[in-house]
């Protein structure tokens, strides 16, 4: 005990709590640095005597590498190192999130366009680029597989000749990464009871995360033979576990610190330049920085799986769904990445937020020579939602019912059973969200009309001045979606938080240290709010995220506020108990309430639940610091049965509904999304301002894939045709409408504070809502996303 004494000079009664706790729209702690340009993103890192790394990537999709000649590149003035597969230092030469099938540098063959083949370190980025261009590679082209037919045809080339991963056992073909059937009830018998049946085939294009901050980082060789890596990622410890075996170093010799992350959306779950920068730094003995430009970024990360989906729904005359059958084929590209988990999501969420007792579902992911696909916001649930919501509209039309009414009639609710047999044991306000989004005020008709005439900026075609309103028709569409929160299928989904409470300059101060990747979502804001709420201390410092503390898991699957937030809450509670113990020892003899009352920490004081102030927290702590690191887990899940798909695979669900209002210039096939309203249940809004930001941002990404976003891959050569922001379009402020949001807070009793993961759900339903509205405006079937002008003007059948 460093100090003893009386509780000090306390006169006032119960404080009114601590400012900046949960439920408030507290501002970001990194906001000022970000608006002044001082926030250090991974591409801003700089070190004295630093070199620049560059990656040479394959110009072909599938080829045998006969030889690589690096001599001319090495002889270039200013070049310090040129590395190929032969220079890899350890026996392990591949990495991967689950299946270690991705080569650090291509060996023997390349399997997709843009695969890394060689690395260069030089004293100027342009020197590195020019030297890389001097590397001679002798390729012998191999035939490409690009879709299900070519990948599974007899004699089809195998993307991976010698697979030995554990998904092989249930994959019907070596070019199928993973397959998950889900069978419940008897879809055949139920189909016989249907009065109407609708079916459709849907195509979902390849979407890119298009985070703005390019892949980048700085590796600094250390005196102990290890390396310090400053990096933008979504999960430091997952990276570390993949980097160490390839470098042949123990994990403790690789110290990783999160550098500023310019968005992620799933695209930073896989490694990009991490190992490359470390290899170059260790070889040259100098710090090496790698920054991708946008062209390289399109090759440097996985994309959202493009998909082909076949769906059949039946219903009785009064609109009750009888059965659903579907088959979802996801293109995983050349390497597995997160494909197995994406298949698990696509299959288990394939039915959407509806009650259907009799289902027959199959989802699978292919290995092809297309660009590798993996995690992106919505993760397998997005593609399914696009199809089942199109089906709902089709069914409503056939039954001559209101499409929202049909959805509400079949909406799942608390207690419903999913196709996996899992019972939904928290609020599932699907019908309520639909009611709310429908009840929101509509934007005015002919919103482009001003007192001066038509404001062309508000019309389809915008500033291009393609119309003044003639030929423009309006449509309204609805959609709702179901997304899981957190990692599923038995994954040990834990997080770690270290919380330190001490007195500095006479005031109690909290430091929260986790390895959570802040990628823009606002986790750092929320952690400070949780600490203030639990410890009653205003001043909270968020320690930089690094590998000096236990894993926080990934910033993905809408899980960080839930899981790492839960860990911070848990650690704070343990610290609070310690502080109160300390108080009892020091001051317990002065006031009986220390032993008898329920005690809280509020406003820097120890108070009883009756509001009596017992002590200043600063006096309780004195010169002692309480410092605890704890792991926290949500309740466990289990794998889906490989043949029936049964199992309690998910921990929590997230729901959002959208209403889209569009105007279409039917002559030119141009679309203006006028408004995209959203209603979402967030369980508990820990930071209402951030909640809106997530919902509006997710909605906009869904809008993007509805009308413009697609990576185009040549079906003959498997080469990417549009790796730039000139040709891959993401919504600008002119393309993005007003996004009014109605937030519902129905607590999930199983989650910390009742919260619900929010980041992904709005990405699901926004795409089908826009498609539904365009169909309503044009009367066209439109079974493909994104919708392009040629689909609206009848100049192209579907794609």
Partner 1 sequence: MRVNFTVNGRKQEADDVWEGESLLYVLRERMGLPGSKNACEQGECGSCTVRLDGVPVCSCLVAAGQAEGREIVTVEGLADYAKHRDDEHPGGGCAGGGCGTSLDAAKRWQAMPHDSQSGEQGTELSPIQQAFIDAGAVQCGFCTPGLLVAADEMLEHTPSPTDADIREALSGNLCRCTGYEKILDAVRLAAARQDEVV
**Which residues, 6 or more positions from 640, have their beta carbon under 8 angstroms from its beta carbon?**
180, 182, 344, 347, 348, 420, 489, 646, 647, 649
CA count, 13 A, side-chain hemisphere, 798? 12
Angle at 193 between CA 192 and CA 199, to 5 degrees: 65
* Contact status: 38 vs partner 1 (CB under 8 A): yes
Taking the C-alpha atoms of residue 604 and residue 178, their distance in angstroms, rounded to an integer, is: 54
Residue with the two structure tokens 């197995």: 340
* Contact status: 722 vs partner 1 (CB under 8 A): no
Residue with the two structure tokens 């004295």: 48
- 8 Å CB contact between 604 and 474: no
* Contact status: 32 vs partner 1 (CB under 8 A): yes
Q: Where are the alpha helices (DSSP H) in 48-142?
A: 71-74, 125-133
Residues 438-467 that bind partner 1 (CB under 8 A): 455, 457-458, 463
Residues 343-402 that bind partner 1 (CB under 8 A): none
Q: Which stretch binds partner 1 (CB under 8 A): 86-94, 519-527, 576-584, 664-672?
A: 519-527
Q: Which is nearer to partner 1, 727 or 790 (CB)?
A: 727
Q: Which is nearer to partner 1, 242 or 272 (CB)?
A: 272
Taking the C-alpha atoms of residue 657 and residue 391, their distance in angstroms, rounded to an integer, is: 16
> What is the smallest separation between the CB atom of 257 and partner 1, expressed in angstroms?
17
Q: Which is nearer to partner 1, 291 or 476 (CB)?
A: 291
* Contact status: 28 vs partner 1 (CB under 8 A): yes
* Contact status: 523 vs partner 1 (CB under 8 A): no
> What is the smallest separation between the CB atom of 338 and partner 1, expressed in angstroms?
20
Q: Which is nearer to partner 1, 396 or 739 (CB)?
A: 739
> What is the smallest separation between the CB atom of 23 and partner 1, expressed in angstroms?
15
The three-class DSSP label of residue 309 is: strand
Q: Which stretch binds partner 1 (CB under 8 A): 157-165, 185-193, 221-229, 289-297?
A: 289-297
Q: At what angle do helices 430-439 and 403-410 cross, to 10 degrees?
A: 160
End-to-end CA distance of the chain: 74
* Contact status: 211 vs partner 1 (CB under 8 A): yes
Residues 127-186 that bind partner 1 (CB under 8 A): none
Among 5, 8, 40, 721, binds partner 1 (CB under 8 A): 40
* Contact status: 481 vs partner 1 (CB under 8 A): no
Using CA atoms of 525, 636, 323, 383 in order, give the dihedral in degrees to the nearest 10. Answer: 40
Q: Which is nearer to partner 1, 230 or 640 (CB)?
A: 230
Among 203, 417, 628, 689, binds partner 1 (CB under 8 A): 689
Binding mask 580-619 for partner 1 (x = CB under 8 A): ----------------------------------------
Burial of 574 (0-12, 13-18, 19+ CB in 10 A): middle
> What is the smallest separation between the CB atom of 727 and partner 1, expressed in angstroms?
9
> What is the smallest separation between the CB atom of 729 and partner 1, expressed in angstroms?
9
Q: How far, rounded to the nearest angstrom, does the alpha carbon of residue 370 sit from its chain's CA centroid?
A: 21
* Contact status: 632 vs partner 1 (CB under 8 A): no
* Contact status: 31 vs partner 1 (CB under 8 A): yes
Among 6, 153, 734, 799, binds partner 1 (CB under 8 A): 734
* Contact status: 721 vs partner 1 (CB under 8 A): no
* Contact status: 124 vs partner 1 (CB under 8 A): yes
The three-class DSSP label of residue 392 is: helix
The two tokens of residue 514 are: 């986790």
Total residues found in the chain within this entry:
799
- Name the β-bridge partners of 361: 182, 326
Among 10, 15, 30, 574, binds partner 1 (CB under 8 A): 30
> What is the smallest separation between the CB atom of 541 and partner 1, expressed in angstroms?
16
Q: Which is nearer to partner 1, 458 or 501 (CB)?
A: 458
Taking the C-alpha atoms of residue 483 and residue 599, their distance in angstroms, rounded to an integer, is: 39
Angle at 498 between CA 27 and CA 260, to 5 degrees: 50
Q: Which is nearer to partner 1, 29 or 588 (CB)?
A: 29
Q: Is the torsion defined by CA of 557, 364, 352, 397 positive or negative?
A: positive
Residue in 214, 232, 366 with CA at minimum distance from that of residue 297: 214
Cα–Cα distances in angstroms (integers) from residue 186 to residues 232, 412, 529, in the given order: 48, 19, 49
Binding mask 738-777 for partner 1 (x = CB under 8 A): xx--------------------------------------
Residue with the two structure tokens 């309780």: 620
Residue with the two structure tokens 């291009």: 464
Q: Which stretch binds partner 1 (CB under 8 A): 140-148, 259-267, 477-485, 624-632?
A: 259-267
Q: Which stretch binds partner 1 (CB under 8 A): 152-160, 290-298, 314-322, 634-642?
A: 290-298
* Contact status: 693 vs partner 1 (CB under 8 A): yes
- Name the β-bridge partners of 474: 663
Among 69, 72, 126, 252, binds partner 1 (CB under 8 A): 126
- Asked if the peptide bond before residue 117 counts as cis, ω within 30 degrees of 0, the response is no
Q: Which stretch binds partner 1 (CB under 8 A): 36-44, 465-473, 526-534, 660-668?
A: 36-44
- 8 Å CB contact between 483 and 381: yes
> What is the smallest separation between the CB atom of 232 and partner 1, expressed in angstroms?
10
CA count, 13 A, side-chain hemisphere, 418? 30
Burial of 674 (0-12, 13-18, 19+ CB in 10 A): buried
* Contact status: 212 vs partner 1 (CB under 8 A): yes
* Contact status: 281 vs partner 1 (CB under 8 A): no
- 8 Å CB contact between 135 and 73: yes
CA count, 13 A, side-chain hemisphere, 414? 9
Give the interface with partner 1 as residue ranges (CB under 8 A): 25, 27-28, 30-32, 34-41, 43-44, 46, 124, 126, 209-214, 260-265, 291, 293-294, 455, 457-458, 463, 519-522, 689-690, 692-693, 695-701, 724-726, 730, 732-734, 736, 738-739
């Amino acid at each position: 005990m460093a100090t003893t004494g009386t509780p000090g000079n306390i006169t006032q009664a119960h404080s009114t709590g601590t400012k900046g706790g949960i439920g408030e729209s507290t501002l970001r702690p990194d906001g000022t640095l970000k608006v002044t340009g001082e926030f250090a993103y991974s591409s801003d890192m700089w070190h004295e005597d630093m070199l620049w790394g560059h990656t040479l990537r394959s110009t072909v999709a599938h080829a045998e590498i006969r030889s690589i000649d690096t001599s001319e590149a090495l002889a270039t003035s200013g070049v310090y190192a040129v590395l190929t597969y032969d220079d890899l230092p350890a026996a392990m030469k591949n990495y991967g999130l689950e299946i270690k099938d991705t080569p650090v540098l291509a060996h023997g063959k390349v399997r997709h366009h843009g695969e890394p083949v060689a690395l260069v370190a030089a004293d100027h980025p342009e020197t590195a680029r020019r030297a890389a261009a001097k590397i001679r590679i002798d390729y012998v082209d191999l035939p490409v597989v690009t879709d299900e037919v070519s990948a599974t045809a007899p004699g089809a080339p195998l993307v991976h000749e010698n697979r030995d991963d554990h998904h092989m056992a249930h994959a019907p073909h070596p070019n199928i990464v993973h397959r998950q059937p889900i069978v419940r009830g008897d879809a055949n018998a139920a189909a016989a009871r249907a009065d109407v049946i609708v079916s459709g085939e849907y195509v979902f294009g390849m979407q890119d995360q298009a985070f703005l901050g390019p892949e980048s980082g700085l590796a600094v060789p250390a005196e102990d033979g290890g390396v310090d890596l400053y990096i933008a990622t979504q999960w430091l410890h997952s990276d570390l576990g993949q980097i160490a075996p390839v470098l042949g170093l123990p994990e403790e010799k690789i110290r990783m610190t999160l550098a500023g992350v310019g968005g992620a959306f799933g695209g930073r779950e896989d490694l990009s330049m991490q190992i490359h920068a470390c290899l170059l730094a260790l070889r040259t003995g100098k710090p090496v920085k790698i920054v991708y430009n946008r062209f390289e970024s399109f090759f440097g990360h996985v994309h959202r799986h493009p998909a082909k989906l076949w769906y059949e729904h039946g219903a009785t005359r009064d609109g009750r769904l009888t059965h659903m059958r579907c088959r979802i084929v996801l293109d995983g590209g050349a390497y597995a990445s997160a494909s197995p988990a994406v298949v698990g999501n696509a299959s288990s969420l394939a039915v959407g937020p509806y009650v259907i007792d009799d289902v027959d579902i199959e989802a699978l992911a292919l290995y092809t020579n297309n660009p590798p696909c993996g995690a992106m916001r919505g993760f397998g649930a997005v593609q399914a939602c696009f199809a089942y919501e199109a089906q709902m509209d089709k069914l409503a039309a056939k039954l001559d019912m209101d499409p929202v009414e049909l959805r509400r009639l079949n909406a799942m609710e608390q207690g419903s059973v999913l196709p996996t047999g899992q019972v939904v044991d928290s609020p599932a306000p699907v019908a309520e969200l639909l009611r709310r989004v429908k009840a929101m005020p509509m934007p005015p008709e002919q919103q482009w009309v001003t007192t001066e005439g038509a404001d062309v900026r508000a019309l389809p075609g915008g500033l291009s001045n393609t119309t003044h309103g003639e030929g423009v028709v309006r449509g309204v569409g609805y959609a709702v979606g179901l997304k899981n929160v957190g990692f599923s299928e038995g994954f040990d989904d834990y997080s770690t938080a270290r919380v330190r409470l001490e007195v500095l300059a006479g005031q109690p101060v909290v430091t929260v240290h986790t390895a959570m990747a802040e990628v823009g979502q606002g986790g750092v804001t929320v952690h400070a709010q949780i600490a203030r709420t639990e410890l009653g201390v205003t001043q909270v410092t968020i320690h930089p995220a690094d590998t000096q503390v236990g894993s926080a898991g990934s910033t993905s699957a809408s899980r960080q506020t839930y899981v790492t937030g839960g860990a911070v809450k848990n650690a704070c509670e343990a610290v609070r108990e310690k502080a109160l113990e300390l108080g009892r020892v020091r001051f317990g003899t002065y006031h009986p309430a220390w032993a008898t009352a329920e005690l809280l920490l509020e406003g820097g004081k120890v108070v009883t639940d009756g509001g009596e102030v017992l002590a200043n927290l600063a006096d309780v702590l004195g010169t002692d610091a309480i410092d605890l690191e704890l792991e926290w887990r949500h309740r466990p899940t289990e794998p889906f049965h490989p043949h029936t798909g049964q199992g309690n695979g998910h921990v929590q669900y997230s729901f959002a509904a959208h209403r889209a209002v569009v105007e279409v210039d039917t002559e030119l096939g141009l679309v203006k999304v006028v408004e995209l309203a959203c209603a979402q249940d967030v369980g508990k809004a820990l930071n209402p301002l951030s909640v809106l930001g997530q919902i509006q941002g997710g909605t906009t990404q869904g809008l993007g894939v509805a009308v413009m976003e697609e990576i185009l891959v040549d079906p003959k050569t498997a080469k990417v045709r549009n790796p730039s922001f000139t040709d891959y379009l993401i919504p600008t402020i002119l393309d993005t409408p007003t996004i009014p949001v109605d937030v519902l807070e129905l607590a999930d009793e199983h989650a910390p504070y009742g919260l619900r993961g929010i980041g992904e759900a709005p990405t699901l339903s926004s795409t089908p809502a826009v498609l539904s509205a365009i169909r309503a405006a044009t009367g066209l079937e439109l079974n493909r996303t994104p919708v392009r002008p040629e689909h609206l003007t009848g100049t192209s059948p579907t794609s």
